[in-house]
């Protein structure tokens, strides 16, 4: 059998078109949407555990990409791509994507180890101690006012009643109650004062912090209920990774010629 020239041309075009079409999921107004874009979105969706790969998922993604392409073409037609504010946002997004790639590669090459996490957790435990305290306080504007409060307590006045006049409006209505907390949750001077107290005791002298002068009472003391290493391991790892990146950035800034 022999092909006539016209039929031969049609056959050749069909052979050439099949692989080209297979590389794209759609062509919108002459603009191709490559299959690789669908694959990338599918990979991300599956990795995030949202849903498994399926023909239905791919069809939804295809429709979404077509819809986005139509909007993009219309936006460019109306000149939004040349708008100064839009261009600034695009540049910020471009920088963020590239920086995230750099940071991801840096952390991959300089990973946070289990030993790093354990050391950080041990430091956390040491800083928080093995006890937590149920604390109340009355905050006054001056040392004289705080001394007057202490004198009234020694004279038999109830701490909770006097706390109604506390400058800390958040706890005043609750008798100055700050609930259960570890010492590390408070300013150093504040926590140093109450850890020296026994259950039921009140500070003999006002405790000064940037917020004012405090009269502190310890309602109760118990063993601290700190989270286990396994419970906080992801958060500790993330915090250490951020520290690594910050140190890396600071080192680059030191080397940079900044004018």
DSSP line for 13-56? HHHHHHHHHHTEEEEETTEEEEHHHHHHHHHHHHHTTS----HH
In the predicted model, what is the mean pLDDT of residues 73-98?
96
Predicted pLDDT of residue 141: 97
pLDDT-derived band at 224, boundaries 50, 70, 90: confident
Q: Residue for token digits 């109650």?
A: 177
What pLDDT is stored for residue 127 in this prediction?
Answer: 83
Position 255 pLDDT exceeds 90:
yes
Q: Report how far apart, in Å, the C-alpha atoms of 109 and of each of 103, 104, 233, 252 are.
A: 10, 9, 20, 17
Range from 1-15, 23-37, 217-231 carrying the lowest mean pLDDT: 1-15
Helical spans, DSSP H, in 110-186: 114-128, 143-154, 159-162, 169-172
- Judge contact between 206 and 189, C-beta under 8 A: no
Give mean pLDDT, residues 137-141.
98
Could you report how far apart the first and last alpha carbons of the chain are, in Å? 77
Could you tell me if 219 and 200 are in contact, meaning their C-beta atoms sit under 8 angstroms apart? yes
Name the helix (H) or strand (E) containing 254: helix 229-255
Q: Mean of the pLDDT values across residues 190-194?
A: 96
| Residue scoring higher pLDDT (4 or 113) | 113
The answer on pLDDT for 92 being more than 70 is yes
pLDDT higher than threshold 70 for residue 18: no
């Amino acid at each position: 059998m022999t092909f006539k020239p016209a039929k031969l041309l049609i056959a050749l075009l069909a052979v050439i078109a099949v692989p080209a079409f297979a590389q794209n999921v759609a062509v919108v107004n002459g603009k191709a949407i490559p299959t690789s874009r669908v694959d990338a979105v599918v990979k991300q969706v599956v990795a995030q555990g949202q849903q498994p790969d399926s023909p239905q998922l791919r069809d939804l993604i295809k429709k979404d990409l077509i819809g986005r392409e139509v909007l993009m073409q219309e936006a460019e037609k109306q000149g939004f791509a040349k708008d100064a504010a839009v261009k600034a946002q695009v540049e910020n997004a471009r920088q963020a994507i590239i920086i995230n790639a750099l940071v991801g590669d840096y952390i991959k090459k300089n990973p946070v180890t289990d030993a790093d996490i354990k050391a950080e957790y041990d430091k956390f435990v040491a800083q928080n101690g093995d006890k937590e305290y149920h604390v109340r306080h009355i905050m006054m504007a001056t040392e004289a006012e705080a001394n007057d409060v202490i004198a009234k307590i020694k004279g038999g006045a109830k701490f909770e009643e006097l706390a109604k006049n506390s400058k800390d409006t958040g706890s005043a209505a609750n008798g100055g109650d700050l609930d259960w907390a570890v010492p590390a949750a408070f300013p150093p001077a504040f926590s140093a004062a109450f850890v020296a107290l026994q259950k039921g005791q009140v500070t003999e002298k006002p405790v000064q912090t940037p917020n004012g002068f405090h009269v502190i009472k310890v309602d109760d003391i118990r063993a601290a209920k700190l989270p286990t290493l396994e419970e906080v391991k992801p958060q500790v790892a993330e915090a250490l990774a951020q520290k690594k990146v910050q140190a890396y950035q600071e080192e680059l800034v030191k080397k940079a010629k900044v004018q």
